[in-house]
Structure 1
């Protein structure tokens, strides 16, 4: 949300693309994540759209009429991956620029993988996610079964 709020101030229209990374194991379906993002951005000012996609990022961006991709960075490890991705994306479409925004310093250590792990072991995730997302994660963990029980 930090990157979304700040990114929305930089562009006339912010399109948030929601997809499934094949190398990750999401806790929620694409439709569930899409609904979560739509709910979370409802109060953010600006022209913001939330769109699901299943294509190369540059193909999606071009279909949306984008001239800029806004990416959030938390740490040096993020930068190395994102720098490589930006280079590949530029090779695919050099008409679309990638802009990086550093996450707020208080948010830099937060990673979805760690938040899921904390939740799966019964720890509190309330300081890492919004209240609504917290409730949904807790409900999903209860459905899946906590680890260590």
Structure 2
């Protein structure tokens, strides 16, 4: 499969919304956000007045996306620098083992290097996802020990 790695465009929203549903199902979701809502939130997140995130896509050239990498910049990282934080790397099952994930990671690294003041790239992988962990290890990345992830829903009262 031949794919082009590029920055997401506004006309990718329908394909990104479909891919996000696939990601949700991959992680075990049984209730999926309605398509219109998914599309609207994808557009707002990536192309709103104050975008929340950026995305690279693996464009297969047929209207579908073979994968995506969603990321944002976080501050501070080291001193007053910032970090590229990869929130989601996902490659469709049909495109896996063809180098798409490695190409997305390489392009993310290039984005981080090209951005003045960006000192590092960070991401997480579920401990229950050995395939992802093996993938990152195969690219030469090492796991960082000593980190614990905390999470609470935005609507949760505490």
TM norm structure 2: 0.32
- Name the structure where strand makes up a greater proportion of residues: 2
Q: Which has the higher contact order (CA 8 A, sep 6+)?
A: 1
